[in-house]
Amino acid sequence: MHGAITFKASEENKAMDEHQYDQELRLQLDVVMAKLVDLKARWPAHSVQAFMVCEREDLEEERDRLLHLLKST
């Protein structure tokens, strides 16, 4: 009987861990999206500097990675 209780508690812990992992991914995604919005607001109409292009590409890659992880959970 105790084994079954332990197993059930273990499954509940796993579900909580997955929920926490999902929440952490969503928080990270929110941060990345906020940075993208800020960057796009500062984006000049002409003469975009290379560091801004790199930053945008990095943020978009991170956004895509997080979205992929969220879809697979």
Task: Report the C-alpha gap between 64 and 54 in whole angstroms.
Answer: 15
- Judged by DSSP in three states, 60 sits in helix
DSSP secondary structure letters along 8-44: HHHHHHHHHHHHHHHHHHHHHHHHHHHHHHHHHHH--
**Statement: residue 10 has pLDDT above 70:** no
Residues 6+ apart with CB under 8 A from 25: 66, 69, 70, 73
More confident residue, 45 or 7: 45
Domain ranges in the chain? Answer: 2-72
At 73 the pLDDT is: 76
- Work out the average pLDDT over 57-71: 97
- Judged by DSSP in three states, 49 sits in coil
**Statement: residue 5 has pLDDT above 70:** no
Query: Residue 45: pLDDT band by 50, 70, 90 thresholds?
Result: very high
